[in-house]
Structure 1
Amino acid sequence: MRNTALRPHATLPGPYDAGTVLATTVDARGNALWLLCPDAETVRNPYGPSYPKPRRYPYDALLVSSDGTPPVDRTLTGVRVRPSALDVLPDGRVLLVGGGAGESNAQLLGRDGRPPHRFSIGRGARFVRADRQGTLWSAYSDEGVYGDPLAAAGLVRWDGHGNRQWSLTPPDGLPHPVDAHALNVDDDGGAWFAYHPSPRLLHVRADGRVASWTTPVARPRGIAAHGAEVALLADGLLHRCRASAGTLDPLEETRLTLPDGTPLTRYTDVVGRGRRLYVRGKSVRQWYVLDIDM
Protein backbone atom coordinates (compact mmCIF):
# COMPACT_ATOMS: atom_id res chain seq x y z
CA MET A 1 0.00 0.00 0.00
CA ARG A 2 1.29 3.44 -0.93
CA ASN A 3 1.91 6.06 1.78
CA THR A 4 0.53 9.60 1.80
CA ALA A 5 2.59 11.95 3.96
CA LEU A 6 1.17 14.88 5.87
CA ARG A 7 3.02 18.18 5.76
CA PRO A 8 3.84 20.26 8.85
CA HIS A 9 1.38 23.13 9.09
CA ALA A 10 1.84 25.09 12.33
CA THR A 11 3.44 24.63 15.74
CA LEU A 12 2.82 26.47 19.00
CA PRO A 13 6.30 27.75 19.91
CA GLY A 14 8.11 27.39 23.22
CA PRO A 15 7.57 30.96 24.52
CA TYR A 16 3.92 30.00 25.15
CA ASP A 17 4.77 27.10 27.45
CA ALA A 18 3.58 29.01 30.52
CA GLY A 19 -0.06 28.74 29.42
CA THR A 20 -2.27 25.65 29.38
CA VAL A 21 -3.96 24.88 26.05
CA LEU A 22 -7.73 24.71 26.62
CA ALA A 23 -8.71 24.29 22.96
CA THR A 24 -7.12 24.20 19.51
CA THR A 25 -8.39 24.06 15.92
CA VAL A 26 -7.75 25.43 12.41
CA ASP A 27 -9.97 28.20 11.05
CA ALA A 28 -11.39 28.78 7.56
CA ARG A 29 -8.32 30.79 6.49
CA GLY A 30 -5.94 28.01 7.52
CA ASN A 31 -4.77 29.60 10.76
CA ALA A 32 -4.03 27.16 13.57
CA LEU A 33 -5.56 28.50 16.79
CA TRP A 34 -4.68 27.80 20.40
CA LEU A 35 -6.55 29.17 23.42
CA LEU A 36 -4.24 29.40 26.44
CA CYS A 37 -5.19 29.87 30.09
CA PRO A 38 -2.51 31.03 32.55
CA ASP A 39 -4.22 29.45 35.57
CA ALA A 40 -5.71 26.02 34.89
CA GLU A 41 -5.94 22.63 36.58
CA THR A 42 -6.22 19.10 35.23
CA VAL A 43 -9.53 17.35 35.87
CA ARG A 44 -9.57 13.56 35.95
CA ASN A 45 -12.44 12.13 33.93
CA PRO A 46 -13.60 8.61 34.91
CA TYR A 47 -15.30 8.23 31.50
CA GLY A 48 -12.51 9.48 29.24
CA PRO A 49 -9.23 11.39 29.04
CA SER A 50 -8.35 14.05 31.58
CA TYR A 51 -8.85 17.65 30.51
CA PRO A 52 -7.68 21.13 31.56
CA LYS A 53 -10.08 23.50 33.29
CA PRO A 54 -9.70 27.14 34.39
CA ARG A 55 -9.49 27.47 38.16
CA ARG A 56 -11.99 30.33 38.22
CA TYR A 57 -14.59 32.08 36.04
CA PRO A 58 -14.60 34.50 34.34
CA TYR A 59 -10.98 34.30 33.26
CA ASP A 60 -8.61 35.96 30.81
CA ALA A 61 -7.16 33.84 28.01
CA LEU A 62 -4.56 34.25 25.28
CA LEU A 63 -5.49 33.40 21.68
CA VAL A 64 -2.50 32.42 19.55
CA SER A 65 -2.78 31.96 15.77
CA SER A 66 -0.32 30.85 13.10
CA ASP A 67 -0.46 29.53 9.54
CA GLY A 68 3.14 28.37 9.74
CA THR A 69 4.52 31.89 9.93
CA PRO A 70 5.51 33.56 13.25
CA PRO A 71 2.47 33.50 15.54
CA VAL A 72 0.36 36.45 16.63
CA ASP A 73 -1.59 36.63 19.86
CA ARG A 74 -4.26 38.68 21.59
CA THR A 75 -5.88 38.66 25.02
CA LEU A 76 -9.52 37.68 25.55
CA THR A 77 -11.14 38.98 28.73
CA GLY A 78 -14.18 37.81 30.63
CA VAL A 79 -14.30 34.27 29.22
CA ARG A 80 -17.09 32.30 30.92
CA VAL A 81 -16.96 28.85 29.29
CA ARG A 82 -14.52 25.95 29.27
CA PRO A 83 -14.35 25.62 25.50
CA SER A 84 -14.94 22.33 23.77
CA ALA A 85 -14.90 24.22 20.45
CA LEU A 86 -13.00 27.27 19.24
CA ASP A 87 -13.04 29.23 15.99
CA VAL A 88 -12.37 32.70 14.56
CA LEU A 89 -14.87 34.30 12.18
CA PRO A 90 -13.69 36.21 9.07
CA ASP A 91 -14.33 39.56 10.80
CA GLY A 92 -12.00 38.59 13.65
CA ARG A 93 -14.59 37.71 16.26
CA VAL A 94 -13.81 34.66 18.37
CA LEU A 95 -16.31 31.86 18.97
CA LEU A 96 -16.00 29.75 22.12
CA VAL A 97 -18.45 26.93 22.82
CA GLY A 98 -18.81 24.98 26.06
CA GLY A 99 -20.00 21.40 26.09
CA GLY A 100 -23.06 21.84 28.31
CA ALA A 101 -26.53 23.16 27.66
CA GLY A 102 -27.96 26.50 28.72
CA GLU A 103 -28.33 30.05 27.58
CA SER A 104 -24.64 30.86 27.82
CA ASN A 105 -22.73 27.88 26.43
CA ALA A 106 -21.48 29.95 23.46
CA GLN A 107 -19.64 33.26 23.47
CA LEU A 108 -18.75 35.57 20.60
CA LEU A 109 -15.92 37.87 21.59
CA GLY A 110 -15.18 41.01 19.61
CA ARG A 111 -11.87 41.98 18.09
CA ASP A 112 -11.09 43.92 21.27
CA GLY A 113 -11.30 40.64 23.21
CA ARG A 114 -14.41 41.57 25.17
CA PRO A 115 -17.55 39.38 25.06
CA PRO A 116 -20.34 41.36 23.41
CA HIS A 117 -22.69 38.44 22.81
CA ARG A 118 -23.65 35.13 24.43
CA PHE A 119 -26.10 32.53 23.15
CA SER A 120 -26.92 28.82 23.30
CA ILE A 121 -25.75 26.53 20.52
CA GLY A 122 -27.11 23.38 22.20
CA ARG A 123 -25.71 20.51 24.21
CA GLY A 124 -23.32 17.91 22.83
CA ALA A 125 -21.82 19.92 19.96
CA ARG A 126 -19.17 17.53 18.64
CA PHE A 127 -18.10 19.91 15.86
CA VAL A 128 -18.55 23.67 15.52
CA ARG A 129 -17.05 25.40 12.48
CA ALA A 130 -17.20 28.91 11.01
CA ASP A 131 -16.94 29.20 7.23
CA ARG A 132 -15.46 31.96 5.08
CA GLN A 133 -18.83 33.73 4.92
CA GLY A 134 -19.08 33.93 8.72
CA THR A 135 -21.77 31.26 8.95
CA LEU A 136 -21.56 28.76 11.82
CA TRP A 137 -22.15 25.01 11.47
CA SER A 138 -22.68 22.67 14.43
CA ALA A 139 -22.94 18.86 14.43
CA TYR A 140 -23.97 16.91 17.50
CA SER A 141 -23.43 13.74 19.49
CA ASP A 142 -26.27 11.56 20.75
CA GLU A 143 -26.20 13.52 24.01
CA GLY A 144 -27.38 16.59 22.14
CA VAL A 145 -29.67 14.88 19.62
CA TYR A 146 -31.66 13.16 22.35
CA GLY A 147 -31.19 15.68 25.15
CA ASP A 148 -31.56 19.19 23.71
CA PRO A 149 -34.15 20.56 21.25
CA LEU A 150 -31.54 22.92 19.79
CA ALA A 151 -29.39 19.93 18.82
CA ALA A 152 -32.15 17.48 17.87
CA ALA A 153 -31.63 17.90 14.10
CA GLY A 154 -28.03 16.64 14.36
CA LEU A 155 -26.69 19.35 12.01
CA VAL A 156 -27.57 23.06 12.33
CA ARG A 157 -26.47 26.23 10.54
CA TRP A 158 -26.39 29.60 12.34
CA ASP A 159 -25.67 33.13 11.24
CA GLY A 160 -22.66 34.98 12.61
CA HIS A 161 -24.69 36.27 15.57
CA GLY A 162 -25.98 32.92 16.79
CA ASN A 163 -29.40 32.99 15.09
CA ARG A 164 -30.55 29.63 13.76
CA GLN A 165 -30.82 29.62 9.94
CA TRP A 166 -31.30 26.00 8.92
CA SER A 167 -31.62 22.48 10.36
CA LEU A 168 -31.05 19.17 8.65
CA THR A 169 -33.98 17.15 7.38
CA PRO A 170 -32.44 13.99 5.89
CA PRO A 171 -33.38 13.18 2.29
CA ASP A 172 -36.06 10.53 1.78
CA GLY A 173 -34.96 7.10 2.91
CA LEU A 174 -32.08 8.24 5.12
CA PRO A 175 -32.22 7.87 8.90
CA HIS A 176 -32.18 10.78 11.30
CA PRO A 177 -28.73 11.62 12.72
CA VAL A 178 -27.85 10.05 16.06
CA ASP A 179 -24.13 10.90 16.29
CA ALA A 180 -21.81 12.99 14.10
CA HIS A 181 -18.75 11.24 12.63
CA ALA A 182 -17.15 14.03 10.58
CA LEU A 183 -17.85 17.53 9.28
CA ASN A 184 -16.18 19.52 6.51
CA VAL A 185 -17.13 23.16 5.97
CA ASP A 186 -16.17 24.17 2.43
CA ASP A 187 -15.29 27.51 0.83
CA ASP A 188 -18.65 27.90 -0.95
CA GLY A 189 -20.92 28.14 2.08
CA GLY A 190 -21.74 24.43 2.18
CA ALA A 191 -20.87 21.49 4.42
CA TRP A 192 -20.07 17.78 4.09
CA PHE A 193 -21.46 15.58 6.86
CA ALA A 194 -21.08 11.93 7.86
CA TYR A 195 -23.15 10.56 10.71
CA HIS A 196 -24.45 7.43 12.41
CA PRO A 197 -26.47 5.47 11.36
CA SER A 198 -26.52 6.78 7.76
CA PRO A 199 -24.64 4.71 5.14
CA ARG A 200 -24.26 7.82 2.97
CA LEU A 201 -22.19 11.00 2.91
CA LEU A 202 -24.20 14.23 2.77
CA HIS A 203 -23.35 17.54 1.11
CA VAL A 204 -25.44 20.55 2.16
CA ARG A 205 -25.23 23.46 -0.27
CA ALA A 206 -25.39 27.09 0.76
CA ASP A 207 -29.07 27.22 -0.28
CA GLY A 208 -29.93 24.25 1.96
CA ARG A 209 -30.29 21.63 -0.76
CA VAL A 210 -28.91 18.22 0.26
CA ALA A 211 -27.22 15.62 -1.94
CA SER A 212 -25.95 12.23 -0.77
CA TRP A 213 -23.66 9.40 -1.89
CA THR A 214 -23.08 5.86 -0.72
CA THR A 215 -19.59 5.57 0.73
CA PRO A 216 -17.05 2.74 1.12
CA VAL A 217 -16.17 4.01 4.62
CA ALA A 218 -18.63 3.42 7.44
CA ARG A 219 -17.23 5.77 10.11
CA PRO A 220 -14.93 8.43 8.63
CA ARG A 221 -13.06 10.70 11.03
CA GLY A 222 -12.23 13.27 8.36
CA ILE A 223 -13.60 14.53 5.04
CA ALA A 224 -11.87 16.55 2.30
CA ALA A 225 -13.57 17.46 -0.96
CA HIS A 226 -12.65 19.30 -4.16
CA GLY A 227 -14.87 19.13 -7.22
CA ALA A 228 -15.83 15.50 -7.73
CA GLU A 229 -12.90 14.22 -5.64
CA VAL A 230 -13.64 13.23 -2.05
CA ALA A 231 -11.16 11.84 0.48
CA LEU A 232 -12.25 10.09 3.67
CA LEU A 233 -9.95 9.42 6.61
CA ALA A 234 -10.63 6.37 8.77
CA ASP A 235 -8.33 4.27 10.97
CA GLY A 236 -5.19 5.89 9.57
CA LEU A 237 -6.14 5.14 5.96
CA LEU A 238 -7.02 7.74 3.35
CA HIS A 239 -9.74 6.62 0.96
CA ARG A 240 -9.73 8.69 -2.24
CA CYS A 241 -13.00 8.52 -4.15
CA ARG A 242 -14.79 10.14 -7.06
CA ALA A 243 -18.40 11.23 -6.69
CA SER A 244 -20.67 9.91 -9.42
CA ALA A 245 -24.44 9.47 -9.55
CA GLY A 246 -25.23 8.76 -5.91
CA THR A 247 -22.04 6.79 -5.24
CA LEU A 248 -18.49 7.50 -4.11
CA ASP A 249 -16.40 5.28 -6.38
CA PRO A 250 -13.11 4.20 -4.73
CA LEU A 251 -9.97 5.35 -6.56
CA GLU A 252 -7.12 4.61 -4.16
CA GLU A 253 -6.48 3.65 -0.55
CA THR A 254 -3.26 4.90 1.04
CA ARG A 255 -1.70 4.86 4.48
CA LEU A 256 -1.48 8.31 6.10
CA THR A 257 1.91 9.06 7.64
CA LEU A 258 3.72 11.82 9.44
CA PRO A 259 6.21 13.85 7.36
CA ASP A 260 9.03 11.46 8.32
CA GLY A 261 7.10 8.43 7.05
CA THR A 262 5.92 7.15 10.45
CA PRO A 263 2.39 5.71 10.14
CA LEU A 264 -0.19 7.91 11.81
CA THR A 265 -1.84 5.28 13.96
CA ARG A 266 -3.37 7.70 16.45
CA TYR A 267 -4.73 11.18 15.88
CA THR A 268 -6.68 13.37 18.23
CA ASP A 269 -8.31 16.04 16.07
CA VAL A 270 -9.23 16.21 12.39
CA VAL A 271 -10.52 19.44 10.83
CA GLY A 272 -11.88 19.34 7.29
CA ARG A 273 -11.76 22.62 5.36
CA GLY A 274 -12.74 22.15 1.72
CA ARG A 275 -9.93 20.28 -0.04
CA ARG A 276 -7.69 20.27 3.05
CA LEU A 277 -7.51 17.98 6.05
CA TYR A 278 -5.79 19.34 9.14
CA VAL A 279 -4.69 16.61 11.53
CA ARG A 280 -3.36 16.77 15.07
CA GLY A 281 -1.52 13.82 16.58
CA LYS A 282 -0.75 13.32 20.26
CA SER A 283 0.73 16.78 20.76
CA VAL A 284 -1.66 19.65 21.37
CA ARG A 285 0.99 21.99 19.93
CA GLN A 286 1.42 20.60 16.38
CA TRP A 287 -0.92 20.60 13.37
CA TYR A 288 -0.29 18.81 10.06
CA VAL A 289 -2.07 19.28 6.72
CA LEU A 290 -3.01 17.30 3.63
CA ASP A 291 -4.26 18.98 0.44
CA ILE A 292 -6.02 16.48 -1.82
CA ASP A 293 -5.54 18.76 -4.85
CA MET A 294 -1.73 18.56 -4.66
Structure 2
Amino acid sequence: MQVTPLNTYARLPRPYRAMHPVHSTIDAEGRAHWLLSERPPSAGNAPKSDGHEPYDALVVTVGDGAPRETHLSAVAHPRGLLEALPDGGFVVAGARTRRTAPPGGQVQVFDALGRASWTFDVGDAVEHLLVDAGGDLWVGHFDENPEGIRRWNAWGELLWESGDTLPGAGWIMDCYALNVGRDAVWACPYTEFPVLEIREGAPVRVRSNDVSGAKALAVAGQRIVFFGGYGGDADRLVVCATTGSGVEPVRTTRAVRPDGGRLGRRHVVSRDERVYVLEEPYSEWYVLDAGATFPAAL
Protein backbone atom coordinates (compact mmCIF):
# COMPACT_ATOMS: atom_id res chain seq x y z
CA MET A 1 0.00 0.00 0.00
CA GLN A 2 1.20 3.51 -0.77
CA VAL A 3 2.01 5.79 2.14
CA THR A 4 1.22 9.45 2.78
CA PRO A 5 3.58 11.32 5.13
CA LEU A 6 1.99 13.74 7.54
CA ASN A 7 3.50 17.21 7.97
CA THR A 8 4.88 18.66 11.17
CA TYR A 9 2.47 21.28 12.49
CA ALA A 10 3.24 22.47 16.05
CA ARG A 11 5.69 21.54 18.81
CA LEU A 12 5.52 22.05 22.52
CA PRO A 13 8.53 24.29 23.31
CA ARG A 14 11.34 22.36 24.93
CA PRO A 15 11.31 24.26 28.28
CA TYR A 16 7.84 22.84 29.00
CA ARG A 17 8.62 19.21 28.21
CA ALA A 18 9.64 18.43 31.78
CA MET A 19 5.98 18.87 32.74
CA HIS A 20 3.35 16.18 32.20
CA PRO A 21 0.85 16.54 29.34
CA VAL A 22 -2.72 16.03 30.54
CA HIS A 23 -4.35 16.78 27.18
CA SER A 24 -3.80 18.82 24.03
CA THR A 25 -6.02 20.19 21.29
CA ILE A 26 -6.18 22.34 18.17
CA ASP A 27 -8.71 25.17 18.32
CA ALA A 28 -10.97 26.60 15.62
CA GLU A 29 -8.25 29.08 14.58
CA GLY A 30 -5.59 26.38 14.22
CA ARG A 31 -3.70 27.13 17.43
CA ALA A 32 -2.26 24.26 19.47
CA HIS A 33 -2.83 24.16 23.23
CA TRP A 34 -1.27 21.85 25.82
CA LEU A 35 -2.66 21.32 29.33
CA LEU A 36 0.33 20.55 31.56
CA SER A 37 0.70 19.59 35.19
CA GLU A 38 3.62 19.09 37.56
CA ARG A 39 2.49 15.52 38.33
CA PRO A 40 1.60 12.67 35.98
CA PRO A 41 -2.12 12.65 35.10
CA SER A 42 -2.53 9.17 36.60
CA ALA A 43 -1.38 10.44 39.96
CA GLY A 44 -3.25 13.72 40.22
CA ASN A 45 -2.80 15.22 43.65
CA ALA A 46 -3.62 13.63 46.99
CA PRO A 47 -6.60 11.33 46.34
CA LYS A 48 -9.77 11.49 48.36
CA SER A 49 -12.78 9.20 48.54
CA ASP A 50 -14.71 10.73 45.62
CA GLY A 51 -11.88 11.65 43.25
CA HIS A 52 -8.81 13.91 43.31
CA GLU A 53 -8.00 17.17 44.99
CA PRO A 54 -8.02 20.15 42.59
CA TYR A 55 -4.62 21.07 41.22
CA ASP A 56 -3.06 24.00 39.39
CA ALA A 57 -2.13 23.54 35.75
CA LEU A 58 -0.52 25.41 32.89
CA VAL A 59 -1.88 25.84 29.36
CA VAL A 60 0.77 26.57 26.73
CA THR A 61 -0.54 27.99 23.44
CA VAL A 62 1.48 27.77 20.21
CA GLY A 63 0.56 29.18 16.83
CA ASP A 64 0.08 32.94 16.92
CA GLY A 65 3.50 34.35 17.73
CA ALA A 66 5.49 33.59 20.85
CA PRO A 67 4.17 30.78 23.06
CA ARG A 68 1.60 32.02 25.56
CA GLU A 69 1.06 30.75 29.10
CA THR A 70 -2.25 30.62 30.94
CA HIS A 71 -2.18 29.37 34.52
CA LEU A 72 -5.36 27.52 35.52
CA SER A 73 -6.34 27.28 39.16
CA ALA A 74 -8.25 24.46 40.87
CA VAL A 75 -8.53 22.02 37.95
CA ALA A 76 -10.75 19.15 39.09
CA HIS A 77 -9.97 16.52 36.46
CA PRO A 78 -6.58 14.75 36.52
CA ARG A 79 -7.23 13.47 32.97
CA GLY A 80 -9.35 16.34 31.72
CA LEU A 81 -10.14 17.13 28.07
CA LEU A 82 -8.95 20.61 27.11
CA GLU A 83 -10.65 23.01 24.70
CA ALA A 84 -10.03 26.71 24.01
CA LEU A 85 -12.75 29.38 24.01
CA PRO A 86 -12.62 32.30 21.56
CA ASP A 87 -12.49 34.87 24.41
CA GLY A 88 -9.15 33.48 25.62
CA GLY A 89 -10.62 31.20 28.25
CA PHE A 90 -10.61 27.42 28.37
CA VAL A 91 -12.78 24.48 29.32
CA VAL A 92 -11.50 21.33 30.98
CA ALA A 93 -13.93 18.42 31.05
CA GLY A 94 -14.08 14.97 32.55
CA ALA A 95 -15.06 12.21 30.14
CA ARG A 96 -16.94 10.29 32.84
CA THR A 97 -19.51 11.85 35.14
CA ARG A 98 -19.07 9.16 37.77
CA ARG A 99 -15.46 10.31 38.25
CA THR A 100 -16.33 13.98 38.56
CA ALA A 101 -15.65 15.84 41.82
CA PRO A 102 -17.55 17.82 42.92
CA PRO A 103 -20.98 16.73 41.53
CA GLY A 104 -22.13 18.95 38.66
CA GLY A 105 -18.58 19.90 37.77
CA GLN A 106 -17.96 17.76 34.70
CA VAL A 107 -17.13 20.78 32.51
CA GLN A 108 -15.09 23.52 34.16
CA VAL A 109 -14.98 26.92 32.47
CA PHE A 110 -11.93 29.12 33.04
CA ASP A 111 -11.72 32.78 32.09
CA ALA A 112 -8.83 34.32 30.15
CA LEU A 113 -6.93 34.84 33.43
CA GLY A 114 -7.18 31.15 34.27
CA ARG A 115 -9.74 31.53 37.05
CA ALA A 116 -12.31 28.75 37.47
CA SER A 117 -15.65 30.41 36.77
CA TRP A 118 -18.53 27.90 36.61
CA THR A 119 -19.28 24.26 35.90
CA PHE A 120 -21.95 22.14 34.23
CA ASP A 121 -22.57 18.60 33.00
CA VAL A 122 -22.81 17.38 29.39
CA GLY A 123 -23.37 13.68 30.09
CA ASP A 124 -21.28 10.59 30.66
CA ALA A 125 -18.95 8.84 28.20
CA VAL A 126 -17.51 11.78 26.24
CA GLU A 127 -15.57 10.58 23.20
CA HIS A 128 -15.10 13.95 21.47
CA LEU A 129 -15.24 17.51 22.80
CA LEU A 130 -14.58 20.35 20.34
CA VAL A 131 -15.36 24.06 20.58
CA ASP A 132 -16.48 25.84 17.42
CA ALA A 133 -15.52 29.35 16.29
CA GLY A 134 -18.51 30.85 18.10
CA GLY A 135 -17.60 29.25 21.43
CA ASP A 136 -20.17 26.43 21.52
CA LEU A 137 -19.18 22.94 22.67
CA TRP A 138 -19.84 19.93 20.44
CA VAL A 139 -19.90 16.65 22.30
CA GLY A 140 -19.90 13.15 20.81
CA HIS A 141 -20.41 10.24 23.19
CA PHE A 142 -19.13 6.69 23.11
CA ASP A 143 -21.31 3.62 23.50
CA GLU A 144 -21.95 3.82 27.25
CA ASN A 145 -24.17 6.87 26.69
CA PRO A 146 -26.72 6.78 23.84
CA GLU A 147 -27.07 10.57 23.67
CA GLY A 148 -25.70 10.82 20.12
CA ILE A 149 -24.16 14.20 19.27
CA ARG A 150 -25.01 17.38 21.16
CA ARG A 151 -24.18 21.07 21.11
CA TRP A 152 -23.94 23.19 24.25
CA ASN A 153 -23.12 26.83 24.84
CA ALA A 154 -20.35 27.74 27.28
CA TRP A 155 -22.91 28.42 30.03
CA GLY A 156 -24.22 24.85 29.94
CA GLU A 157 -27.38 25.34 27.88
CA LEU A 158 -28.23 22.51 25.49
CA LEU A 159 -28.70 24.03 22.00
CA TRP A 160 -29.11 20.99 19.74
CA GLU A 161 -29.06 17.20 19.86
CA SER A 162 -29.16 14.47 17.27
CA GLY A 163 -30.93 11.95 19.47
CA ASP A 164 -30.01 8.28 19.38
CA THR A 165 -31.44 7.83 15.88
CA LEU A 166 -31.75 9.98 12.74
CA PRO A 167 -33.79 9.28 9.61
CA GLY A 168 -31.52 7.45 7.18
CA ALA A 169 -28.67 7.19 9.70
CA GLY A 170 -29.85 4.37 11.92
CA TRP A 171 -28.77 4.04 15.52
CA ILE A 172 -26.18 6.58 16.65
CA MET A 173 -24.58 4.41 19.30
CA ASP A 174 -21.00 5.72 19.31
CA CYS A 175 -19.60 8.91 17.74
CA TYR A 176 -16.45 7.46 16.15
CA ALA A 177 -15.36 10.61 14.29
CA LEU A 178 -16.33 14.28 14.73
CA ASN A 179 -15.18 17.25 12.61
CA VAL A 180 -16.12 20.73 13.86
CA GLY A 181 -15.47 23.19 11.06
CA ARG A 182 -16.12 26.84 10.30
CA ASP A 183 -19.53 26.40 8.66
CA ALA A 184 -20.51 22.80 9.32
CA VAL A 185 -20.03 19.87 11.65
CA TRP A 186 -19.41 16.40 10.25
CA ALA A 187 -19.71 13.11 12.07
CA CYS A 188 -19.34 9.41 11.37
CA PRO A 189 -21.10 7.31 14.03
CA TYR A 190 -21.36 3.60 14.74
CA THR A 191 -23.29 1.40 13.88
CA GLU A 192 -23.82 2.09 10.15
CA PHE A 193 -21.06 4.74 9.82
CA PRO A 194 -23.13 7.24 7.82
CA VAL A 195 -21.58 10.65 7.15
CA LEU A 196 -23.66 13.32 8.89
CA GLU A 197 -23.47 16.93 7.69
CA ILE A 198 -24.86 19.29 10.35
CA ARG A 199 -25.51 22.92 9.44
CA GLU A 200 -27.22 25.70 11.35
CA GLY A 201 -30.93 25.90 10.60
CA ALA A 202 -30.99 22.95 8.18
CA PRO A 203 -31.96 19.29 8.49
CA VAL A 204 -29.05 16.92 9.02
CA ARG A 205 -27.85 15.56 5.70
CA VAL A 206 -27.09 11.85 5.76
CA ARG A 207 -24.81 10.08 3.28
CA SER A 208 -24.31 6.33 3.23
CA ASN A 209 -20.75 5.11 3.74
CA ASP A 210 -19.02 1.73 3.57
CA VAL A 211 -15.78 2.84 5.28
CA SER A 212 -16.01 1.47 8.81
CA GLY A 213 -14.14 2.33 11.98
CA ALA A 214 -12.55 5.67 11.05
CA LYS A 215 -11.53 7.83 14.02
CA ALA A 216 -11.24 11.11 12.10
CA LEU A 217 -12.40 12.66 8.85
CA ALA A 218 -11.34 15.65 6.77
CA VAL A 219 -13.71 17.40 4.36
CA ALA A 220 -12.34 19.31 1.36
CA GLY A 221 -14.95 20.33 -1.18
CA GLN A 222 -16.46 17.18 -2.65
CA ARG A 223 -13.86 14.92 -1.02
CA ILE A 224 -13.91 13.25 2.35
CA VAL A 225 -10.80 11.55 3.73
CA PHE A 226 -11.26 9.01 6.51
CA PHE A 227 -8.38 8.32 8.90
CA GLY A 228 -8.13 5.14 10.92
CA GLY A 229 -9.96 1.86 11.19
CA TYR A 230 -10.01 -1.44 13.01
CA GLY A 231 -6.94 -3.50 13.81
CA GLY A 232 -4.33 -3.19 11.08
CA ASP A 233 -6.22 -0.29 9.51
CA ALA A 234 -5.41 2.11 12.34
CA ASP A 235 -3.25 4.24 9.98
CA ARG A 236 -5.47 3.85 6.91
CA LEU A 237 -6.49 6.85 4.78
CA VAL A 238 -9.48 6.38 2.49
CA VAL A 239 -10.14 9.19 0.02
CA CYS A 240 -13.78 9.35 -1.03
CA ALA A 241 -15.85 11.40 -3.45
CA THR A 242 -19.23 12.59 -2.21
CA THR A 243 -22.40 11.91 -4.15
CA GLY A 244 -25.90 13.10 -3.50
CA SER A 245 -26.66 10.23 -1.15
CA GLY A 246 -23.33 8.63 -0.29
CA VAL A 247 -19.55 8.60 -0.45
CA GLU A 248 -17.50 6.50 -2.88
CA PRO A 249 -13.91 5.38 -2.13
CA VAL A 250 -11.44 6.33 -4.86
CA ARG A 251 -8.06 5.80 -3.21
CA THR A 252 -6.58 4.10 -0.16
CA THR A 253 -3.21 4.87 1.36
CA ARG A 254 -1.55 4.77 4.78
CA ALA A 255 -0.51 7.69 6.98
CA VAL A 256 3.05 7.74 8.28
CA ARG A 257 5.11 10.15 10.35
CA PRO A 258 6.94 12.98 8.54
CA ASP A 259 10.12 10.84 8.63
CA GLY A 260 8.28 7.88 7.12
CA GLY A 261 8.01 5.88 10.35
CA ARG A 262 4.89 4.14 11.60
CA LEU A 263 2.63 6.13 13.87
CA GLY A 264 2.42 5.16 17.51
CA ARG A 265 -0.34 5.77 20.01
CA ARG A 266 -2.07 9.01 19.07
CA HIS A 267 -4.82 11.56 19.67
CA VAL A 268 -6.63 13.12 16.69
CA VAL A 269 -8.60 16.32 16.05
CA SER A 270 -10.62 16.96 12.88
CA ARG A 271 -11.39 20.47 11.64
CA ASP A 272 -12.63 21.19 8.11
CA GLU A 273 -10.10 19.90 5.57
CA ARG A 274 -7.52 18.95 8.20
CA VAL A 275 -6.84 16.05 10.52
CA TYR A 276 -4.35 16.83 13.27
CA VAL A 277 -2.44 13.94 14.85
CA LEU A 278 -0.64 14.10 18.21
CA GLU A 279 1.62 11.12 18.72
CA GLU A 280 2.90 9.89 22.07
CA PRO A 281 4.77 11.42 24.01
CA TYR A 282 2.29 14.14 22.97
CA SER A 283 4.69 17.02 22.38
CA GLU A 284 4.35 17.38 18.59
CA TRP A 285 1.31 17.76 16.34
CA TYR A 286 1.29 16.51 12.74
CA VAL A 287 -1.28 17.49 10.13
CA LEU A 288 -2.94 16.05 7.06
CA ASP A 289 -4.44 18.73 4.80
CA ALA A 290 -6.87 16.84 2.59
CA GLY A 291 -7.24 19.63 0.05
CA ALA A 292 -3.51 20.03 -0.47
CA THR A 293 -2.58 16.34 -0.24
CA PHE A 294 -5.37 14.91 -2.37
CA PRO A 295 -6.24 17.34 -5.20
CA ALA A 296 -9.64 17.08 -6.86
CA ALA A 297 -8.24 15.24 -9.89
CA LEU A 298 -7.08 11.90 -8.47
Q: Where on the TM-score scale, by shorter chain, does this alignment land: which range?
A: 0.7 to 0.9
Q: Match for residue 196 of structure 1? A: 190
Change (3 A) 1:106 1:250: same
The structure 1 segments of at least 4 consecutive aligned residues displaced by more than 3 Å after TM superposition are: none
CA drift of 1:88 comes to 0.3
Structure 2 counterpart SS, 1:117: strand
**Worse overlay, 63-72 or 88-97:** 63-72
Distance in 2 (CA, whole Å) between partners of 1:124 and 1:164 is 17
2:49 aligned with 1:53, yes or no? no
Change (3 A) 1:199 1:16: closer
**Any conservation in 2 of the 1:53–1:82 contact (CA below 8 Å)?**
yes
Q: Deviations over 1:97-119 (max 9, x none)?
A: 01222411111100011011111
Q: Match for residue 150 of structure 1? A: none
Q: Match for residue 262 of structure 1? A: 261
Structure 2 gaps, min length 5: 47-51, 98-102, 229-233, 293-298
Q: Match for residue 67 of structure 2? A: 71
Q: Match for residue 28 of structure 2? A: 28
TM normalised by structure 1 equals 0.88
CA drift of 1:167 comes to 0.6
CA drift of 1:89 comes to 1.2
Q: Match for residue 118 of structure 1? A: 119
CA drift of 1:158 comes to 0.8
CA drift of 1:208 comes to 5.0
Change (3 A) 1:290 1:120: same
Distance in 2 (CA, whole Å) between partners of 1:17 and 1:104 is 29
Change (3 A) 1:275 1:41: closer
- Give aligned pairs, total: 276
Structure 1 gaps, min length 5: 44-51, 146-152
**Any conservation in 1 of the 2:41–2:78 contact (CA below 8 Å)?**
no
2:144 aligned with 1:143, yes or no? yes
Task: Trace 1:1-294 onto structure 2 (pairs within 5 A).
Answer: 1-38=1-38, 40-41=39-40, 43=42, 52-55=43-46, 57-67=53-63, 70-101=66-97, 102-145=103-146, 153-169=147-163, 170-188=165-183, 190-207=184-201, 209-234=203-228, 235-264=234-263, 266-294=264-292
Q: Deviations over 1:120-147 (max 9, x none)?
A: 11111111000111111000012222xx
RMSD over aligned Cα, in angstroms?
A: 1.8
